[in-house]
Structure 1
């Protein structure tokens, strides 16, 4: 039987990148002692107040069809939030609500890109970006993020890859998997390129509320001269420890959101009103769990660097935000993929190969900072012992 072109465009994307995670799950199911440091799940449950808000909304009958743009009160709350955060007026008609950031990204790229277009993305990148870009028919063009530049996207590297095919630049700030944050100068230099070449800027800001103390976040949405070309996507998945509720949004120019509405309605025709009510409360009240998460994640990243610098020759890149840290494992003589499998098999610690996020991290692995302190310290001990054993075997 024949398939649509989109099936071919997405063939081979997705599952293979999670090989180590899937194997770790299977080993745990068999009774093996495995510490999972693969997935970015919040380390706390969804706050009871949000569960109660969703439950109360269901009991109140908020289970019918919804507005195709998103429920009006939620869009008003997001309008207020982003107006305050950016220092410029964002009206409710610039807001569209989706089931999570992933769906928002899919819809946005279906709305701005097409076959024959290129989208520039920093490499490394979140594992599903290639899929949401290729689904539209566009091609993804990786732009290397260099460790010596703090894994921040450099305008010069972008400029070298811009062609007449280029339609958009996809930013992630704070970044997954590196935890880097674009500076004001970075944003302005990238914005200048977008203006010169008439490009969209898509900014994934899902980790905005998990910025570590002493760091500063700047959104391109705060730049008035970029207002007709910036689209921000985010959700409550990370900030409010509510990934399973799948509640996200995009903020963009009103002309864009109006043009995107028929596509959104064709895909979804609205979100669940009771989840919208819960999300409205989350947006209005702020997060009661974000402060604790960012404090713990920052402390675990520092602990990881301290333990490994004292115990072995693996190098840790310190994140500025988010749920992850990177380890340079090239000194072991293994690439990140082979190292991750060896570490899982011989030390019972599951980490993500850097190659799951692009070619730039071939010699790296990503560590989730989301297990409790005791388990995390045990994982550090196992990583050190494993590195020592690898050194002995290769000596």
Structure 2
């Protein structure tokens, strides 16, 4: 992919003397820093209700665990093709052809050690210094960070509470410039839990086509929409990269299973990047992927459990003074509006952690439009969620 075509890597300008190193472009904020603080409190014996990071507490599919164990026991721990084991890619392609309701060739499937690489490799192939990428705001922090690392400029398009945290395509259109190269889409959305309707996605796809933009659509939470709720697909074209993961939907964060569905013209470039970065995903992990994808009943039970927790958390927060909640329709989070508290969201998160012993993620970590909010995760059993809300309410009533 280049700025004008879907193959090859764009030219880079050599930085002058004293120019900042690429890693210096990162802002560096994340919920993991708050997790470190929470762990230090727990090491001192403090009971902390951990709502800051979206790491599922539910078990992963037993069939996937058994498959990986068999592969390791059988000595299958060597290299595979950089893009992934061909037989596994065939099975993954069949799964996604059914899920995306369109043909997917095995050659278009790349197995990655973490889904963020799908965005990273797209950016490396598309961006020249100063090019712009449209990212949701609030949004998953690595979107903007990877754009900066690639030498580009992230441009946030707002997800406003009054619109149900669904983007207004007219607002997105107004942000397109001659330097815009990529549009990032994420539904169900992190951190708001919004599910973007079909007409919104169709308008965004039309916008991308008219302006010749590449699209990366992050599908990590697609399996975790409300039971029975339609989750429309982004209308993919020859410039669309599907970025997916089994971390959230299958409770497999530590397995680092990333899946990319890429246009045929981009396969060689992605594979070259894999050869020169990660080589390949661990072979025994790859061979457990088909078993995980076949665990539909396991995922359905997780979806129902998260729906129960979502309702519990939203109802509890709605009764807390100085807190407003837009009900999410999917994902693993609730984004609570705490602007009426009178405190900066980072300061409030610190106060809740150290005084109420509830760990939350400040909304400003997710972009300018996340400021004044706290993200709370659904990844604890209901009694712990209830305890967290009770502690939060007590502390806010004392403000």
2:168 maps to 1:159? no
Contact in 1 for aligned 2:63/2:291 (Cα 8 Å): no
Tell me how far apart the structure 1 counterparts of residues 29 and 391 of structure 2 sit (CA, whole Å).
29
Contact in 2 for aligned 1:294/1:322 (Cα 8 Å): no
From the superposition, tell whether residues 264 and 114 of structure 1 become closer, same or farther in structure 2 (CA, over 3 Å).
farther
Once the two structures are TM-superposed, the CA of residue 239 in structure 1 deviates from its matched residue by 1.6
Once the two structures are TM-superposed, the CA of residue 288 in structure 1 deviates from its matched residue by 4.3
Matching of residues 216-227 of structure 1 within 5 Å: 216-220=230-234, 223=235, 226-227=236-237
Look up the match of 1:314. 323
Deviates more, 1:156-165 or 1:211-220: 211-220
Once the two structures are TM-superposed, the CA of residue 2 in structure 1 deviates from its matched residue by 8.4
Once the two structures are TM-superposed, the CA of residue 297 in structure 1 deviates from its matched residue by 2.0
Tell me which protein shows more helix as a share of its residues: 1
Structure 2 residue corresponding to 1:113, chosen from 121, 127, 132: 127
Q: Over aligned residues, Cα RMSD in angstroms?
A: 1.9
Tell me how far apart the structure 1 counterparts of residues 284 and 33 of structure 2 sit (CA, whole Å).
35
Look up the match of 2:345. 336
Once the two structures are TM-superposed, the CA of residue 330 in structure 1 deviates from its matched residue by 1.2
- Secondary structure at the aligned position of 1:128 is classed as helix
Once the two structures are TM-superposed, the CA of residue 186 in structure 1 deviates from its matched residue by 0.8
Once the two structures are TM-superposed, the CA of residue 18 in structure 1 deviates from its matched residue by 4.0
Look up the match of 1:393. none
Tell me how far apart the structure 2 counterparts of residues 171 and 320 of structure 1 sit (CA, whole Å).
16
Structure 2 residue corresponding to 1:78, chosen from 62, 77, 92: 92
**TM-score (ref. length: structure 2):** 0.91
1:152-181 per-residue CA deviation (whole Å, 9 max, x = no partner) reads 122111111111100010111111000111
Matching of residues 373-384 of structure 1 within 5 Å: 373-384=382-393
Tell me how far apart the structure 2 counterparts of residues 380 and 85 of structure 1 sit (CA, whole Å).
36
Contact in 2 for aligned 1:312/1:384 (Cα 8 Å): yes
Tell me how far apart the structure 2 counterparts of residues 61 and 256 of structure 1 sit (CA, whole Å).
33
Tell me how far apart the structure 1 counterparts of residues 318 and 77 of structure 2 sit (CA, whole Å).
54
Look up the match of 1:293. 302
- Secondary structure at the aligned position of 2:319 is classed as helix
Tell me how far apart the structure 2 counterparts of residues 93 and 311 of structure 1 sit (CA, whole Å).
51
Tell me how far apart the structure 1 counterparts of residues 316 and 327 of structure 2 sit (CA, whole Å).
13
Look up the match of 1:5. 21
From the superposition, tell whether residues 7 and 309 of structure 1 become closer, same or farther in structure 2 (CA, over 3 Å).
closer
Look up the match of 1:353. 362
Look up the match of 1:93. 107
Once the two structures are TM-superposed, the CA of residue 311 in structure 1 deviates from its matched residue by 4.6
- Secondary structure at the aligned position of 1:360 is classed as helix
2:380 maps to 1:366? no
Look up the match of 2:14. none
Contact in 2 for aligned 1:47/1:288 (Cα 8 Å): no
Once the two structures are TM-superposed, the CA of residue 320 in structure 1 deviates from its matched residue by 0.8
1:106-154 per-residue CA deviation (whole Å, 9 max, x = no partner) reads 2222222231311000100112222221222111111111111111122
Tell me how far apart the structure 2 counterparts of residues 54 and 304 of structure 1 sit (CA, whole Å).
35
- Secondary structure at the aligned position of 1:89 is classed as coil
2:75 maps to 1:66? no
From the superposition, tell whether residues 271 and 18 of structure 1 become closer, same or farther in structure 2 (CA, over 3 Å).
closer
Contact in 1 for aligned 2:322/2:339 (Cα 8 Å): no
Look up the match of 1:257. 267
- Secondary structure at the aligned position of 1:68 is classed as coil
Look up the match of 2:158. 144
Structure 2 residue corresponding to 1:277, chosen from 287, 291, 312: 287
From the superposition, tell whether residues 83 and 378 of structure 1 become closer, same or farther in structure 2 (CA, over 3 Å).
same
